[in-house]
Structure 1
């Protein structure tokens, strides 16, 4: 339930982190020094999902995706993006994936009018991630802000809430992504709607909208994984709500949870079954190690439900503000919990205005970044 407004990466910071002070290589080509990245790219094979494992290789072995959330398109009017060294460094740090945060209005500012600059930038970013040997999850429509999660939904497409906007007007955009990138072996999954807004909470209607979304993507891409999120990313959803989820094909689907819970309120759901707030998503709420047991109780609610509906689980976002109390211990305890359950996860986020950022202004890793592994 990350409710912070998005802060665009300042160009100076981005260039420093991307290329050690040099301009991004817009071509996406690798230098001779990056021959190891070519080998890493060649090793990527298309992943699939089972009822218990979110990502599985062709040989049947589970592939745990762990890495940061990354914004690949900085400005819809330019091709500036992270250079190859940024992705190479992420891989060298021991991570296996990145979750690309996309904003719909960058790509379709007017109905049916595609911004090819944004798509070209995304193609470059996907190519660089692949070259580094990183899998990519596409956070296709990142909802946040007002009205009702539609801060970056194109004005022409807005409805009563963000989820309704995507289900009514965003299927064409999702199909564009599937048609353009579905065959890429580095694309591990689509995460079509980030933290679907719906108030009053109505899980059945959200899952009915997901039926439309999944079917639309499957019309263009029959195999790549598709992640489904609970309302606001962390709501408690009863398995009975899945009666309204009726996709044509129910394979390669994943239940993706955003877990910022700090254990400060028992199991951690309010009377509307939304994850307890405040939590670490606000950038300031801290963590008390004495609440560690509640982290497991909260996550288990999601795991139990997912098991009932035969969906594997992946943690699409977790994080805590850099200056929040208990910062390092929160990461240690969350990562240990996720690993104990065999779950992959994505840290929020690689680089922002400093609240959650894993890197410094010069592109070097913060001292605690290794804890996320």
Structure 2
């Protein structure tokens, strides 16, 4: 039996049944009564793990926090970030989300809320307070929660969202980093053991481990870490499911062993270039639909062979600013929505649970976004526009043509210094030399320098002003991306 969800809210009511403990049964996720549960949700990224394109800064979260503390002072910076996190997700957000018939919130969080790098053996209680608040809000609105460790010591991948500050995943090179992450999961498992609101634990977001197995596949240390983490978590909490991402940004399962982990959902991320402003745009041709299907089937091959459930932990296009782009922006967004609907159709066909990226941001991707006329956006808009011109954020930049006259000759000159045979040896090998250079020079080095400019915008502001700025993220002051949310509501209503 599959639970059908009435996604037509009655007076803003909640159509979701009360949460019960979930578990894996073959290819299904089931509740305490043995009924199939498809998790359909979103992530509140940008709150407990901040990302540059989501809230507007450049570079990495720990750099942004340090720059703000330098300009504002430690106490006022802490006040601002605490209030920002508070307003990011409240009962009003959860009530709206549940009214759409959606039933799960993925909570990305940064290890720094729990671990001080200078005192790594102590788990800080402040981190639990932050997570508990979100879990309790979700409980009041019958929303399941997936706890997602999005950033670990040293960084589990090469990108900004693992908050390492560099373009290397040092997590895989230091056993102490790996052990600290397991220590954290043991503490989390002990804290949330028996909590039916928590659907399960997502031990690592988008791991990218370059170390080879005997067969030559990337991911040898990842697989070993998963096996160790699973045993440690199960020793404390034998009941909650695990949501295990594939290697190389949740896309590659070639290193994974023949025998799946028990009570485990295997996770992919299913972004398509059709949903981004680079390359071919989605026109709904049969060839493009076939490509979306082939991309998905490649990623879920391991799960289909092993007979285990699939969770698509991230997907979704980015959107044009229709206020700026006018009719062209409207037309582009129609294509992005059409691509999203085609993806959702595939997920229904293959019985895949999903979590769309993203719930709230400053306007690129979110179901809900900050009002362009809010105090926060009025303050940071010139900085965001400069980031666009400089091409600093991989995710949030629509057009990098403004700086190609600088970078293309630079990249070409550097490339000539490297014998062709060695130009694609750096992991992830799916990235070109130019992409590797862009990560290091623009998204790490230059972003850190330029980030001071955003911090300076806050100089001299008192707590009342900081509260107003943080309050720009409150649900009541945000805008809804109505077309996107209607697509998700209709999908939630389908069995």
**CA separation in 1, counterparts of 2:36 and 2:156?**
40
Q: CA deviation at 1:123?
A: 0.3
8 A Cα contact 1:318 1:347, kept in partner? yes
| TM-score w.r.t. length of structure 1 | 0.74
Give 1:89-238 correspondences, 5 Å limit.
89-110=96-117, 111-142=120-151, 148-149=157-158, 161-163=170-172, 167-199=178-210, 202-238=218-254
Greater fraction of residues in helix:
2
Query: Residue 35 of structure 2: which of 58, 61, 81 is its match?
Result: 61
Matched, 1:363 2:478: yes
Larger Rg: 2
For 1:287 and 1:117, how far apart are their aligned partners in 2? 44
Q: Which runs of 5+ in 2 are unaligned?
A: 1-10, 51-64, 66-77, 212-216, 321-331, 371-476
Question: How far apart are residue 154 of structure 1 and its match?
Answer: 8.3
In the TM superposition, what is the alpha-carbon distance from 1:51 to its structure 2 partner?
2.4
Return the alpha-carbon distance in structure 2 between the equivalents of residues 148 and 310 of structure 1: 28
How many Å apart are 1:161 and its aligned residue? 3.0
CA distance in 1, matches of 2:49, 2:149: 15
Q: Deviations over 1:262-303 (max 9, x none)?
A: 4xxxxxxxxxxxxxxxx74x6756434221111111211233
Matched, 1:287 2:282: yes
Taking only aligned residues, the RMSD between alpha carbons, in angstroms, comes to 3.2
Instruction: Quote the Cα distance in structure 1 between the aligned partners of 2:134 and 2:277.
Output: 27
What CA deviation, in whole Å up to 9, does each residue of 1:58-89 have, x standing for no partner?
A: 11111111111114537995374222111111
Pick 1 or 2: higher relative contact order, CA cutoff 8 A, min separation 6. Answer: 2
Taking the aligned partners of 2:359 and 2:180, their CA distance within structure 1 comes to 30
Question: Is 161-170 or 117-126 further displaced after alignment?
Answer: 161-170
- Distance in structure 2 (CA, Å) of the matches to 1:370 and 1:171: 39
Q: CA deviation at 1:322?
A: 1.1
Is contact 2:155-2:163 (8 Å) kept?
A: no
Provide the rounded CA distance (Å) in 1 between the counterparts of 2:132 and 2:159.
25
Judged with a 3 Å threshold, the aligned counterparts in structure 2 of structure 1 residues 144 and 354 are, in CA distance, closer, same or farther, namely farther
Aligned to 1:47: 22
Residues 139-159 of structure 1: per-residue CA shift (max 9 Å, x gap): 12346997944757687xx99
Change beyond 3 A, Cα 1:283–1:230: farther
Structure 1 residue 318 corresponds to structure 2 residue 315? yes
Answer whether contact 2:156 2:208 (CA < 8 A) is retained. no
Once residues 145 and 294 of structure 1 are traced to their aligned partners in structure 2, the CA distance between those partners, rounded to angstroms, is 35
Does the C-alpha gap of structure 1 residues 153 and 219 become closer, same or farther in structure 2, counting only changes over 3 Å?
farther
1:16 maps to: none
* Larger mean Cα displacement after TM superposition, 185-194 or 103-112: 103-112
Distance 1:338 1:137 in 2: 19
Match of 1:113, SS state, is strand
Measure the CA separation in 1 of the matches of 2:161 and 2:206: 13
Whole-Å Cα distance in 2 between the matches of residues 62 and 51 of structure 1? 11
Q: Distance in 1 between matches of 2:293 and 2:362?
A: 30
Bigger shift: 186-195 or 318-327?
318-327
- Distance change >3 Å, CA 312–CA 92, structure 1 → 2: same
Counting matched residue pairs gives 313
Contact 2:107 2:145 in 1 (8 A): yes
Match of 2:300 among 299, 303, 309: 303
- Maintained 8 Å contact 2:145/2:198: yes
1:185-238 Cα offsets, whole Å, 9 max, x none, are: 110011110000212661333212211111121121101000111113343323
Counterpart Cα distance in 2 of 1:170 and 1:148: 14
CA–CA separation in structure 2 for the residues paired with 1:363 and 1:129? 20
